[in-house]
Amino acid sequence: MIKISAAGIALALAALSPSATATAQTYPPVPQPLVIDKSVVRPGELVTVQGGGATPNATVTITFDGADPVDVASITAASDGTFRASFNIPLVATPGRHDISATSEGRSLGTVTVTVVVRQARRPFTGGGQSLLPYLIIGALVLTGVAGAFVVRRRGPRAG
């Protein structure tokens, strides 16, 4: 009688079976990251976002979150599923962190976070740095006119 061990049987079966490795796939697919040209933006500023993973030639919608999310761009993906869009940050964007996301055919293609900062307030105009010459000339002309009026009144009418 031949003694066959369990380990020997396992080795024989492993050698006879085709070798294929199975890998787990994530579902739904993980969105590719979006890339944006600026991470700190101001309301009204032009920015460009790009990414991939869209169905070739599908419509891609770019959305800016906020109190009310706003679709800021709608473009067609290239034949390889990549896309690129330029848009202005909404003027009503509040200061702080905001997400910009891309979607196509009901799928998220990616999200990027930007920080919105407010425009610096302009200093009130105080007239500093301007030449006083025009004001001095106007003042001199006004004084000349007033002085001339007094001289004519003091002389009175000429005797003829």
Give the model's pLDDT for residue 152. Answer: 66
pTM over 0.85: no
Give the model's pLDDT for residue 24. Answer: 58
> If we measure between CA atoms, which residue out of 113, 68, 109 comes closest to residue 92?
68
Give the model's pLDDT for residue 86. Answer: 97
Q: How are beta strands 40-41 and 107-116 bridged, if at all? A: parallel
Give the model's pLDDT for residue 158. Answer: 64
Sheet containing strand 70-76, edge to edge, reads 40-41, 107-116, 96-104, 59-64, 70-76
pLDDT in tens, the chain (160 residues): 455 565 555 555 555 555 545 555 555 555 567 899 999 999 999 999 999 999 999 999 999 996 689 999 999 999 999 999 999 999 999 999 999 999 999 999 999 999 999 866 666 666 556 677 778 888 888 888 877 777 766 666 666 5
